[in-house]
């Protein structure tokens, strides 16, 4: 029987993903309704630009402060339980805000405090949700699942504010908040019914501070993720001009009202649907970087069209095409982040990617608002379009395709260390030495290969120090040394090795003879903490 080819909608054939996707889209619509109603409520409570802008700041600030700790939680704890807890938290906060608004006791400080609380819940929810997706769909359907996630966001962005406007006119902001509270219940039910297979851990859970440092270190020493971060910042910083200035173009440049603005946003959202449909076909014919280059050019010309086109029908068509470019670029960035992160650190890596996206969007919106005030809306949009085109020069330096060739399945290529006596999990730091025997004429090439290939792997997986030494008395002997925070962290390193790491180590064996010799030194605390007493070192082979 011939398997059906993957399409943009293939993941929806899977009941669990389909249920999660539908419930998440409903919840996202509720979220966009809530955001519109919260901003409108503040105009009624404290109609000043500062107070209204503080609502948006209260929504995004927790994402800056808590996204990385949230990603660490997604890697340390059970992701399903985290998501269940965040849905319950979001339900309670939205319901409380709805009740306070309907009863008329709501105050500006209450609105800001609850908005901060909802933002904190979202900061924990987003990394866990993104890290969970590869558990729900197979690898070959991951690109389509990421595209469908972007489709859901585009639909919610187009539908949510429009529905909220109708409800606010009919009954005020209070019912909108209650509808948002109800919208998360679908996600909660689907997650509650999902029997996720538990992961058995043989080592103590990572501590929060150590887990956050490990996540930052992993992104820093993984070229594929560095490329995602740079490309995300370079694109979103300039692309945010279109989103932030679109309301002003509709109102001032076109002289139209909220219906016209909603139509323009809807065209962008519908373009995203078209982009999701054509992206899988395009990926089979072109490389990721070629696709994103074309999509970036399309979005840049969308900025130029918004700057100068005044024919509403033409502008609707331009926004339709621009929405295709937006979805293709953002989906490609998210997919590259998913592919570039190993399972043990996926939540943290995706949190850094999300933090970059939201941070660049916030900074860009502020920047282009200032530029538009000083130089005018058309000039700001033209400058943003030019910046997007200049950013194409980063593609050869930071290719997204770097993530496609990675084989991140666990390899377990290191043998468990043999210990002479029991070593406590928190003992350390641990000094690991790897001794190689090779001909002196190969030493320079070997050292260069080790620094270029092995050093990033060691640092990525937990080493806080790394260096390569040569024995002054024996030029045939080189020793690689690296330092890890604790014995437990070094044991975690053993489980973090991947199939790509195996290929690197196999390639390096052509430089030296025999087998490498590994020794572990574990630093122990003094028996009595008297001043001047030396710490003991314990030798483990």
Which residues is 394 bridged to in the sheet? none
Q: Looking at the domain 214-406, which fold is it? A: Growth Hormone; Chain: A; (1.20.1250)
Task: Please tell me the pTM assigned to this model.
Answer: 0.81
DSSP 461: T
Residues 304 and 300: their CA atoms lie apart, in Å, by 7
Closest CA to 87 of 191, 196, 193, 198: 191
Give the contacts of 171 (CB within 8 A, at least 6 positions apart): none
Residues 418 and 518: their CA atoms lie apart, in Å, by 10
Percentage of the chain lying above the pLDDT 70 cut: 92
Q: Is the peptide bond before 278 cis (omega within 30 degrees of 0)?
A: no
Closest CA to 316 of 165, 156, 149, 158: 158
Confidence of residue 52 (pLDDT cuts 50, 70, 90): low
Average pLDDT over residues 21-41: 87
pLDDT value of residue 521? 92
Burial of 527 (0-12, 13-18, 19+ CB in 10 A): exposed
Q: Is 386 left (phi over 0), alpha (psi -120 to 50) or beta?
A: alpha
540 alpha-carbon distance from chain centroid: 39
Supply the CATH classification number for the domain 430-540: 3.30.70.100
Residues 215 and 52: their CA atoms lie apart, in Å, by 35
- Tell me the longest C-alpha to C-alpha distance in the chain: 87
What are the sequence ranges of the domains in the chain?
Answer: 8-194, 214-406, 430-540
Higher pLDDT, 221 or 373: 221
DSSP 425: T
| pLDDT for 535 beyond 60 | no
Q: Which residue reads 């990385």 in tokens? A: 68
Residues 297 and 301: their CA atoms lie apart, in Å, by 6
**Crossing angle of helices 108-136 and 15-45, rounded to 10°:** 170
Q: What is the pLDDT of residues 270-323, one digit of tens each?
A: 888 888 888 888 888 888 899 999 999 999 999 999 998 888 889 999 999 999
Q: What is the pLDDT of residues 429-444, one digit of tens each?
A: 999 999 999 988 899 9
Residues 383 and 242: their CA atoms lie apart, in Å, by 11
| pLDDT for 480 beyond 50 | yes
Helices assigned H by DSSP within 184-257: 185-193, 208-220, 223-248
Average pLDDT over residues 182-198: 87
Confidence of residue 4 (pLDDT cuts 50, 70, 90): low
Q: Is 526 left (phi over 0), alpha (psi -120 to 50) or beta?
A: beta
| 302-317 residues labelled b (16+ CB within 10 A) or e (exposed) | bbbbbbebeeeeebbe
Q: What is the pLDDT of residues 85-141, one digit of tens each?
A: 999 999 999 999 999 999 989 998 899 899 999 989 998 998 888 888 888 888 878
Closest CA to 323 of 85, 512, 154, 115: 154
pLDDT value of residue 537? 37
Alpha-carbon torsion 218, 223, 224, 228, what sign? positive
Higher pLDDT, 18 or 530: 18
Residues 367 and 239: their CA atoms lie apart, in Å, by 12
Q: What is the pLDDT of residues 65-78, one digit of tens each?
A: 888 888 888 888 88
| pLDDT for 170 beyond 70 | yes
Write the DSSP assignment of 345-360 as a string of letters. Answer: GHHHHHHHHHHHHHHH
Residue 538 parent element (H or E) = strand 537-540
| pLDDT for 478 beyond 90 | yes
| pLDDT for 358 beyond 60 | yes
| pLDDT for 428 beyond 70 | yes
Residues 332 and 340: their CA atoms lie apart, in Å, by 12
Closest CA to 360 of 453, 444, 235: 235
- The mean pLDDT of the chain is 85
pLDDT value of residue 7? 67
Which residues is 540 bridged to in the sheet? 520
| pLDDT for 258 beyond 50 | yes
Q: Do domains 8-194 and 214-406 have the same CATH topology?
A: yes
| pLDDT for 397 beyond 80 | yes
With contact defined as beta carbons under 8 Å apart, do 90 and 122 qualify? yes
| pLDDT for 395 beyond 90 | yes
Burial of 384 (0-12, 13-18, 19+ CB in 10 A): buried
Residues 301 and 289: their CA atoms lie apart, in Å, by 18
C-alpha count within 13 angstroms, C-beta hemisphere, residue 99:
7
* Residue 537 burial (CB count, 10 A): 10
Q: Looking at the domain 8-194, which fold is it? A: Growth Hormone; Chain: A; (1.20.1250)
pLDDT value of residue 53? 60
Confidence of residue 534 (pLDDT cuts 50, 70, 90): very low
Residues 90 and 117: their CA atoms lie apart, in Å, by 8
| pLDDT for 401 beyond 70 | yes
Percentage of the chain lying above the pLDDT 90 cut: 35
């Amino acid at each position: 029987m011939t398997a059906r080819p993957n399409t943009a909608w293939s993941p929806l054939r899977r009941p669990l993903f389909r249920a999660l996707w539908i419930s998440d889209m409903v919840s996202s619509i509720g979220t966009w309704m809530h955001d519109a109603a919260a901003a409108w409520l503040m105009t009624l409570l404290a109609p000043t630009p500062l107070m209204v802008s503080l609502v948006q700041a209260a929504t995004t600030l927790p994402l800056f402060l808590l996204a990385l700790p949230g990603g660490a939680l997604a890697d340390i704890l059970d992701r399903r339980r985290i998501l269940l807890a965040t849905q319950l938290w979001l339900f309670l906060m939205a319901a409380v805000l709805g009740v306070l608004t309907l009863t008329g006791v709501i105050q500006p400080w209450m609105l800001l405090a609850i908005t901060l609380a909802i933002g904190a819940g979202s900061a924990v929810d987003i990394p866990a949700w993104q890290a969970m997706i590869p558990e729900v769909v197979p690898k070959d359907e991951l690109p389509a699942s990421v595209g469908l996630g972007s489709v859901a966001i585009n639909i919610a962005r187009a539908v949510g504010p429009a529905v909220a406007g109708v409800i606010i006119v009919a009954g005020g902001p209070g019912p909108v908040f209650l509808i948002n509270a109800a919208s998360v219940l679908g996600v909660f039910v689907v997650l509650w019914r999902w029997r996720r297979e538990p992961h058995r851990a043989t080592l103590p859970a990572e501590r929060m501070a150590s887990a956050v440092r490990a996540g930052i270190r992993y992104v820093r020493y993984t070229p594929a993720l560095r490329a995602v971060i740079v490309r995300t910042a370079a694109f979103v910083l300039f692309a945010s001009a279109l989103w932030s200035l679109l309301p002003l173009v509709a109102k001032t440049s076109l002289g139209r009202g909220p219906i016209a603005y909603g139509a323009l946003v809807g065209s962008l959202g519908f373009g995203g649907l078209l982009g999701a449909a054509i992206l899988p076909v395009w990926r089979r014919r072109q490389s990721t970087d070629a696709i994103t280059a074309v999509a970036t050019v399309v979005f840049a010309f969308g900025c130029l069209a918004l700057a100068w086109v005044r024919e509403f029908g033409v502008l609707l068509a331009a926004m339709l095409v621009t929405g295709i470019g937006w979805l293709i670029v953002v989906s490609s960035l998210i997919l590259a982040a998913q592919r570039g992160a190993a399972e043990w650190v996926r939540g943290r890596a995706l949190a850094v990617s999300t933090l970059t996206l939201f941070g660049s969007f916030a900074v860009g919106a502020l920047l282009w608002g200032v530029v538009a005030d000083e130089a005018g809306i058309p000039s700001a949009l033209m400058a943003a379009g030019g910046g997007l085109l200049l950013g194409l020069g980063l593609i050869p330096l930071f290719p997204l395709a770097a993530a496609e060739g990675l084989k991140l399945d666990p390899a377990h290529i290191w043998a468990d260390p043999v210990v002479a006596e029991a070593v406590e999990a928190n003992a350390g730091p641990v000094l690991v030495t790897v001794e190689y025997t090779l001909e002196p004429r190969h030493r320079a090439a070997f050292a260069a290969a080790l620094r270029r290939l092995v050093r990033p792997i060691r640092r990525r997986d937990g080493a806080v120090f790394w260096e390569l030494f040569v024995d002054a008395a024996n030029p045939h002997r080189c020793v690689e040394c690296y330092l890890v925070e604790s014995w437990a962290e070094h044991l975690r390193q053993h489980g973090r090795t991947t199939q790509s790491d195996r290929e690197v180590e196999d390639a390096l064996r052509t430089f030296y003879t025999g087998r490498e010799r590994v020794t572990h030194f574990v630093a122990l605390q003094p028996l009595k903490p008297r001043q001047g007493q030396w710490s003991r070192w314990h030798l483990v082979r």
